[in-house]
Amino acid sequence: MKLRTKKKSPKYIFVTGGVLSSLGKGLTAASLGALLENRGLNITLMKMDPYLNVDPGTMNPFQHGEVFVTEDGAETDLDLGHYERFTNVSLKRENSVSAGQVYETVIAKERNGEYLGGTVQVIPHITDEIKQRVRKVAEGKDVAIIEIGGTVGDIESLPFLEAIRQFRFDAGEENVLFIHLTLVPFLGLSGELKTKPTQHSVQKLREIGIQPDLLLCRTDRFIPKDIRAKIALFCNINADLVITAKDVANIYEVPMMLYEQGLDEKICKKLGLSQRSRGLQKWAKVVETLSKPKAGPIQIGIVGKYVDLKESYKSVSEALVHAAIANQCSLDIQYIDSEKITASNVESLLGGLSGILVPGGFGNRGVEGKICAIRYARENQVPYLGICIGLQLAVIEFARHKCGIAKATSREFSNTGEFIIDLMEDQRRVARVGGSMRLGLYECKLTPGSLAEKVYGKRVIQERHRHRYEVNNHYRKVLEDSGIVFSGHNAEMGLVEMMEIKNHPYFLTCQFHPEFRSKPFSPHPLFVGLVKASVEKDQARGKSKPAGDSLKKNGSTRARLSRGGTKSQPSATL
């Protein structure tokens, strides 16, 4: 008779935040995932957002930041990008949940009669749906880390907080841990750290019925022992479970900072996990490379229309940082508003750049400025990487100025002209906006001998897409006869995936979004190639300086890496 072994219960870690938004819950969850994965644990991560949108796909980037795309084509919150960059997980649609999705599912069940005519309520129907999604994500994993979006006290997040309150009883206290991230500001006038915001935040959380097991206190300095004791006393927690979440020079120091305070050790002890840490040598190497680069700085210009909120290009800016690590150089990212670029000022705005990048985007605002930037890069031998619309506009620019097709345009921008970029036939019948693009992982075959094949080092690749418009195949021959090289194709759909031009140090464009697959330990080759070509360009014109000179001038690499954040939260902090 074969004995059945009891199925091992996964452990659940819920990360909440208080006082204000943008404290760094996403980076905290990602760093925690890195630390636990480093112990050999099989982890997953999940983001729960309280907004009623079904997904962030149609939300304004100025409000929400970038939309991250998973391999299975889900449009998700940008925090999933942090999760994938910091760990080895490959997340799916189920790892991102919004209140809109939950309510949509519950209402659909009610319409289908699944509640047998019963009254449908937030408790238990909405909370049960939330808990069911958490259990599904955690299946087969050692640890599931679930970040609750928003701030404690927001009415929108109450169903999620109620669901995780119940979860401790459903899954067992030994399997659930609550981490609360809060703010301990330093007031210069009084010269002291203020604990009241943290006290009130924890008090609000306890009113809901959740007692945090660990407190992460966001601050600009390490919290002294007496202040930690005060926080512990008023928050009903042991002082050694009050952790400093201090500002750091770049985000890749966060796992090390938390590791040095024993956060993973404390979590494993409370959850009964015995795996030992393998050390953080690979993270230390990344941080050392960022702090002591051998070359640079190089200036890469990101030309876009969402530059007032740098989080709109978060994955792009991080992929450039990864490429700088691979090339051991310091990086100065310049964000340039494409609406301000004209033929008369393009030289003054772009003349000092080492490389130019046009990221993805939608709509016709700022398009002509991007085309000016692309033409400048092509004619002046400036390394250029175009992503999604950056490919489409490069094809339009070439058609106008090299092929003589003066009215070359995209159907996205105009109702008249020659549509070099157009909708696929099946897209013309699509009425819905949300989730209706070409989304997720698609195969691309590279042309032998092309720059694309050289950069990738292989013939067949897979990349993530998020777009609706394609290169019009009716114009391919005239474009190729004029010098364009379409170096990547989707054979199944007959679509262009990559374009490049010859006799240029680096002019490479792609229809997909390579930034979504870049990690600090596995930088994406297209970004590595752009940064490498930019370094070589600066060295050729005698602009590149020893790294030590740039460090003396700017004080530290923080000045070089902190430019990618929002006004409220620089990317170089937690």
Active-site amino acid positions = 388, 513, 515
Kindly report the three-state secondary structure assignment for every residue of 109-155. HHHCCCCCCCCCCHHHHHHHHHHHHHHHHHCCCCEEEEEECCCCCCH
Query: Exposed e or buried b for every residue in 441-459, given b needs 16+ CB within 10 A?
Result: bbebbbbeebbbbebbeee
Residue 66, number of CB atoms within 10 A of its CB: 25
Q: Are 471 and 395 in contact (CB under 8 A)?
A: yes
Q: Which of 414, 401, 397, 391 is nearest to 471 (CA)?
A: 391
Q: Which of 118, 512, 81, 554 is nearest to 314 (CA)?
A: 81
CA-to-CA distance for 34 and 572, rounded, in angstroms? 18
Query: Where are the extended beta strands (E) located within 359-512?
Result: 384-387, 408-410, 418-423, 438-446, 460-467, 469-471, 484-490, 495-501, 507-510
- Give me the amino acid identity at 363: G
CA-to-CA distance for 388 and 394, rounded, in angstroms? 10
Match 């310091």 to its residue by tokens: 330
- Structure-token pair, residue 7: 């199925």
Handedness of CA 184, 190, 192, 195 (dihedral sign): negative
